[in-house]
Each structure stands twice: as structure tokens, then as C-alpha cells.
Structure 1
Amino acid sequence: MESKLSFMEEIDQLDVLDTHTHLVGDRLAAKDFWEIAHYFWLNREMQAAGYPANAQELPENERIGAFLSAYQGSRNTLMNWVLTRIFQELYGIDLKDERSVLEADEAVKASHARSDWAQQAADQMQIRGFVTNIPEHAAFQGMRRNALVIPRIDGRINEWTRRIHRSTGRPFEFEAVGAELDELLASFTQKGYPGIMTTLPRYGSSANRVDGVRADSEPDEILMAIMHAISGSAERRGLFVQLFLGVERSWCGEAVPANDSERILKIAGLFDKYHCPFELVVASELNNLDVVQAAWNFPNVSVGGMWWFNFRASTYRDAMQYRLEAIPSMKSSIIASDARCIEWSYGKIRLVKRLLGEFLYERMASGWIDKELALQVAKNWLHDSAAERYRFYKS
């Protein structure tokens, strides 16, 4: 059997499709060191190690000192590992003292000024495409191709739900909304978008118990009726429906993960009734098995990348095992960087490739799969599965 290092290097050279980003086409690269260092996920871990919430207001020398202290105090965390690799591999810099931070800041400012930097960083990690949910952000300046657009409609869904619930004639208003959303999805088809994306709040109703809207329908029931209308329209229009689930914003001022044992069960009626493809992306650890069970039960359901609080090595390893043993690899994609600059897309995909390489090598060493199958699984999970669903063709 070949060495682990050799196998990991092969994984590093495989193509990637980054299925969920917040990249903006005219500002892909970070403008300075602090834009990378204050990325939300890292900043949470840094603040837990003592980094002040008002760090941006501090004089530069105090800010650097606070950063270095928190950086050292959080060296065991995953996002710290990613930050370290971003600067080691993209800039050749080890973050260790004030001088290195100042050097890193100058290096990032210099790369920001380069028109070819975003493409160079993407090529170094074999990232062949990116997805955005905002059409206005899709024109990726300085790159060989624009982002793929999967428009986000959760704002419209919330608006429709409130509108119907406020109406004195809810069934009639629901009919009007149904026509409106069908027209919207038809416009997406005409623009060549492959599908739609939405988050959903926690819902009390179930798809198998909702059939239209009554005069006394409550908001959760209206929401589920709208999801029926969306799924039916997507089926007619040849679109897939991508559902991002498991983040709750109603409990406090922060977004938090919410494990709900019935979250996927309550929408199984959609998968059963409509033949459009569904892709499930979850942020709550306990739902990782539920989405795999849904993909096992329903041929039109696939599972997507690890989102929000699921982006951790432990959840990745468990989820990869669930997926490997239960569903064909073309029904699973594992990349969703959630990045806001190209450097974090690079870094988070760097981490996923390492986790994937380690996982598959262990499965090979245990005799469950051979190398040919391991590489095929890796190709599908990193790129081909999502590329087929999204109709993303290599140029």
C-alpha cells in the first residue's frame, strides 16, 4: 500500500467546486491582514481566548499584541489551524510576533492589488468554480469564469408567509402568492439558474399534514404550504431546491445551532410528493445522519456540504462515514466554505482535503475500499456530485 503522504498529495490535486460562498465579484481578495484575521469563525475562537470584541478600535500595536495573545491561546482550535496554513502556504509567513503580523499585512495588501491573485489562490487549491446566492455578486473580476448563481429566496418566503397571515382572505392570498412564486421560478429558469436556495426557521407543521391554506392557518402551516408550492413549481421548471437547515436566530441575539430530531422528518412529505431534486445542507450535528437517511430513502435527495456549526473535524469524519456506507458518492458533496474572501475559501478547502484524505486512507488501510474507489469517492464529493446537480461544466 502506498504511503499516506503520497495519497494525501493526490487528494490535494483533485478538482473542487465550492458550493456555498459569500464572495463578491469585485472584491474577492482580502484587502488587509485584518480582513482575514477577523473572519467570523476564527474571531469566535479568538474572542474565547481573550481577543477583545472592540479590537478594531485599538491602536495598531495594542491590536497586534491582543491578536498574538489570543492566537497563541487558541492554537488548538480548527480555525486557528486554517489561518496558520493560509499565511504559511499563500504568503510564506509564520505568525509569531509583531514583525510577522506587519509583514503579513503588507503581503495581503500587495496581493489585493493584483488582478490575478484570486485566480492564483483558487488554482493552488484546484478550485474550479464557486457558487453565490446573489446574482449581482457573480461577475468574478480577474477570474477565468464567473460564479454559478443559485438564487436565495428565504427573504421572499418570509415576506409571503407574513403577507398571507395578515390577509383577511388567506386562501385567496395564498393563490396570489403561488402565482407570484411560480413566475419568479420561471424567470430563474429563463436566466439559466439550476436551482434555488433557502434557509428555513424551525417549523412546527409537517409537509404531510398541510394541503393548502385555510382561513385560520397559522404561520408554520402557511410556511409549509408555500414550500409545497415552491417544490411543485421547481418540479415544473426543472430546478432543484437547496435547503439550508439547523441555524436558529429567535432564541437570542446570536445565531445558534439547533438539533431537532424531527427537522428532516417533517419535510419528508415534500421529497415523497415532488420529483425535483432536493439538496440538504445542515448546521446541526445530530441532523447529519437524518439527511443521509433521507438521501437513502428518496432518490431525488442529495446531501451537501457542512455548514455553520458542522464545520468541524469531528462532524466531518462522522458525516463522511455515514455517507460512505449508505449512499452513492454522486449523491453527496462536502464543500461549502462559507468564505467571504478567496483566502478563506482556500484555507477551509485545504482543511477539508486533509480530513478527506485521512478518512479515505484509513478506510483503505482497513480493507473496506481500494485506492481506485477512494479516489472516485473523493472526486465526487469534492466536485463531480455538485457539478452534475448544478449543471456546472468545466471550461
Structure 2
Amino acid sequence: MTHAATPNTTIADRQAFLDEIMQLPVLDTHTHLVGDRLAARDFWEIAHYFWLNREMQTGGYPANAADLPEDERIRAFLDAYRATRNTNMNWVLTRIFQDLYGIQLIDEASVREADAAIQRSHAAPGWAQSVADRLQIRRFVVNIPEHAEFQGTRDRAILIPRIDGRLGGWASEMASAGDPMAAYEQHKRTIDELLAGFAAQGCPGIMTTLPAYASRADRRAAIAPGIAKDEAMMELLHAICAAAERHGLLVQLFLGVERSWCGTAVPANDPARILKLTALFEQYRCRFELVVASELNNLDVVQAAWNFPNVHVGGMWWFNFRASTYRDVMQYRLEALAATASSLVVSDARCIEWSYGKIALIKKLICEFLWQQLESGWIERETAHRVAEEWLYGSAARRYGLL
């Protein structure tokens, strides 16, 4: 890493650097945007975003808020909004309304003003593109084919189809079949046909989440009666990686969220989670992108990318989307990985306004982190700028075939 002399900095220098970062292009690598309804329709579609809602409930917002009379609902929202002013999602929400609508949420009248403004913007044909342009968000990734045709924007979404719904079913069928090998061979043919079709459509890869698994990719199970479901899943992952290699596709793995412990999704820190997959990274030449929601696995994915050049690391997903996690992750990645092997943007947004707000936070955090590295003399300004470009856009754009 280049050591540069500590520059004589000023507030103006720092602001100029922030302005540079804010104007860099962005690729949002994971969203739930739907092509024909990119913009929020009303205030509540923004205010009831899942992650904000979770934090608001820590401030007393009722779980049944959507069922309350409007006046009561607004009062409950404002009480919880004030109580959670310290949280990241509150910062994002505040930024959305200040930047996009010029509104501060201070009383009932401001909430109603915001609702009217959102209804107007939803009806404006160019709104979604104008929101994206404010932060130079060039492209978005979706995982559902029907969602990819974006309306009112210059480009359609990048489609990386998710197959986790099928993967779980295939593994269950193998585990319960009287002839697991026959089931496996059929699923292997299906996988090859499916991925060949995705490649023919121009998709850069496929995406899947994975539940907790005791199996290891380096220990091949006997595909025979009695095979456990997670052993079957690991054998299917071998088939998926082999097909991805044949058809030139990326394999995106989203890891660290568990739904089996209770009715609510929770983060699960498994210190062996990435180790159990390393034989896949070693055996197959397809590229892998690892996205994790569990804090303890953030260093593990960096180590995997350090060891295996076909492994790249993605953005902060689910419970990892916090300022503290970003700071740690950026330090891990700056020290160990070429910036071309790392992306930092996963908005998980369900409307264009939340993609804007969360990317505003990401850009602020990148700027603050890299500025500290500059002031400490660890990197030069040119290097900081190049790292930010890759983390925000270049790495993902190259991985998805845009560059």
C-alpha cells in the first residue's frame, strides 16, 4: 500500500473530496425494485420500509400501525421518529425527505405535505430516473424476470435470477426419494438447462440464498437412500457450480440469514460457513460473489477472496447494513484486496427513494473512511478515488459484463 505524506487539509478540502465521491457512478447490486412501480406511491410506502420499521418499533412504533386511523398513525410515527433520531435508518429517511422533497418531518402537517409530494412524484414520468441521477446510480440488479423491465428509466435492470426457491425443493426431493441418484441426475439436467437458458438471455449469473448447512463441499456424500437434506443441497451446489462454469455465469451466494429458529428472520454467525464452501471456490472456475448478513463472516469472505481469485465480495446485506459494519469491512478490504474484487452497494430497496437514501449513506461512509486514510498518510488521493470508483461501480460492472 502506498504511504503518502499527511496532507495539509482544510474543511474545504474535505468537502471537495465528499463532492467528488457523491458524483461517482453507482451500481446497486441487489434490490427488490419492480419495473412498473419504481417510485413510492405514498408516504407510508417509504415510512414502512422494513428496516426503518424495525428500528421505529424499538422507539415504540406499534406493529399494527397500518391499521390505525390516519391521525393516530401519524402521531405514532412522529413519536417513534423522534425517539430513533440516533439510528442509521432514521438518518436515511431524513435524507430522503430533505434531499428529494425539501421537507423536514416535524409535525402532522409536514407528514401530510410529504404524502402529497410523494403522490405527485409517483405520477411524474421521469421521477425514478431523476432520483437515480442525483447520486449517479447508473444500474440496478433485480432477481425476478418480471421486474427487470424498468419504466421511465434509460436502462432496464440487470437480471440475476434467484434459484433458492428451486434449490430447497430439489434438495428435499433428493432426501425423500426412494432413488436419490435418479432424482439427482434429473435435477442436474434441469440445472444445466436452466442455466443455459439464463446465459442465452444475457444474464450475468444466478443468485441463491443458503440455509444453515452441516455439510462441507470437500466431503462428497453418497447419493443413496438416507442422504441428509443439507448433503443433497451441497451435491446440488456442485452441479450448479459446474453448470455455471460451463455457461460462463457468476454464482452469487447470499448467506447469514436464518428463518428456521422462529417466525422472524435472524442473523446467524457461523464461523465455519465460508470454510464449508471453499472447495467449491477451488474446484470450479466460475466467479463467485459472496454477500453476507452476519457480522462475524465479514472477515471470512475477505479471506476467501484473498485465497481464491475467482471470489469477489459484495455489499452489506440485511443485518450488516450499519455504519459500524461498513467501517470495519472497508478496513478489511482496503488492507487485503484489490478494489476490483469488492463491491459495497446492496440497497435492498423496494422503491427508488430508498435506493437513493441508502446509497447516500454508503457514499458518506466511503468518503469519511477514505478521507481518514488520506489524512493518516496510508493512501494518496488518486488511490482513494480509484478505490471508491471500484467499490461503488467498477467492480460490479466488470463482474456483470458492463465493462
TM superposition score normalised by structure 1: 0.98
1:345 aligns with 2:367: no
CA distance in 2, matches of 1:286, 1:293: 12
> Who is 2:220 aligned against?
210
> Who is 1:375 aligned against?
385
CA distance in 2, matches of 1:314, 1:375: 22
Letter in 1 for 2:234: M
Q: Deviations over 1:367-393 (max 9, x none)?
A: 000000000000000000000001125
C-alpha contact 2:35 2:150 (8 A) present in aligned 1:
yes
C-alpha contact 1:13 1:125 (8 A) present in aligned 2:
yes
Q: 1:334 is paired with a residue of what secondary structure?
A: coil
1:174-193 equivalences under 5 Å are 174-193=184-203
CA distance in 1, matches of 2:201, 2:151: 20
> Who is 2:136 aligned against?
126
C-alpha contact 1:212 1:225 (8 A) present in aligned 2:
no
Q: Deviations over 1:303-331 (max 9, x none)?
A: 00000000000000000000000010000
> Who is 1:89 aligned against?
99
Aligned partner (choices 39, 43, 46) of residue 49 of structure 2: 39
CA distance in 1, matches of 2:222, 2:29: 33
Q: Deviations over 1:230-265 (max 9, x none)?
A: 000100110010000000000001000000000000
> Who is 1:158 aligned against?
168
1:226-237 equivalences under 5 Å are 226-237=236-247
1:247 aligns with 2:260: no
1:307 aligns with 2:317: yes
Deviation at 1:75, TM superposition (A): 0.4
Q: Deviations over 1:17-37 (max 9, x none)?
A: 000000000000000011000
C-alpha contact 2:132 2:356 (8 A) present in aligned 1:
yes
| Number of positions where the alignment pairs a residue of Structure 1 with one of Structure 2 | 393
Letter in 1 for 2:51: W
CA distance in 1, matches of 2:222, 2:252: 22
Letter in 1 for 2:18: M
CA distance in 2, matches of 1:29, 1:331: 32
Deviation at 1:176, TM superposition (A): 1.1
Letter in 2 for 1:65: R
C-alpha contact 2:175 2:225 (8 A) present in aligned 1:
no
1:167 aligns with 2:196: no
Deviation at 1:211, TM superposition (A): 5.0
> Who is 1:316 aligned against?
326
C-alpha contact 2:162 2:207 (8 A) present in aligned 1:
yes
Give ranges in structure 2 of 5+ residues lacking alignment. Answer: 1-6
Letter in 1 for 2:242: G
> Who is 1:221 aligned against?
231
> Who is 1:390 aligned against?
400
Letter in 2 for 1:236: R
Deviation at 1:5, TM superposition (A): 1.3
Deviation at 1:157, TM superposition (A): 0.3
Aligned partner (choices 278, 289, 292) of residue 288 of structure 2: 278
Q: Deviations over 1:270-294 (max 9, x none)?
A: 0010010000000000000000000
Q: 1:207 is paired with a residue of what secondary structure?
A: coil
Instruction: Tell which deviates more after alignment, 51-60 or 315-324.
Output: 51-60
Deviation at 1:217, TM superposition (A): 1.2
C-alpha contact 1:333 1:385 (8 A) present in aligned 2:
yes
Q: 1:356 is paired with a residue of what secondary structure?
A: helix
CA distance in 1, matches of 2:281, 2:20: 36
> Who is 2:31 aligned against?
21
Deviation at 1:57, TM superposition (A): 1.4
CA distance in 2, matches of 1:45, 1:167: 44
Letter in 2 for 1:50: G
CA distance in 1, matches of 2:210, 2:199: 22
> Who is 2:209 aligned against?
199
Aligned partner (choices 61, 65, 76) of residue 55 of structure 1: 65
> Who is 1:295 aligned against?
305
Deviation at 1:83, TM superposition (A): 0.2
C-alpha contact 2:29 2:345 (8 A) present in aligned 1:
yes
TM superposition score normalised by structure 2: 0.97
> Who is 1:11 aligned against?
21
Deviation at 1:214, TM superposition (A): 2.6
Q: 1:252 is paired with a residue of what secondary structure?
A: coil
Letter in 1 for 2:390: N
C-alpha contact 1:203 1:220 (8 A) present in aligned 2:
yes
Aligned partner (choices 126, 147, 151) of residue 137 of structure 1: 147
CA distance in 1, matches of 2:359, 2:305: 24
CA distance in 2, matches of 1:331, 1:207: 23
Runs of 4+ displaced beyond 3 Å: none
C-alpha contact 1:246 1:282 (8 A) present in aligned 2:
yes
Q: 2:251 is paired with a residue of what secondary structure?
A: strand
C-alpha contact 1:171 1:212 (8 A) present in aligned 2:
no
Q: 1:216 is paired with a residue of what secondary structure?
A: coil
Instruction: Tell which deviates more after alignment, 49-58 or 284-293.
Output: 49-58
C-alpha contact 1:280 1:301 (8 A) present in aligned 2:
yes
RMSD of the TM alignment (CA)? 0.8
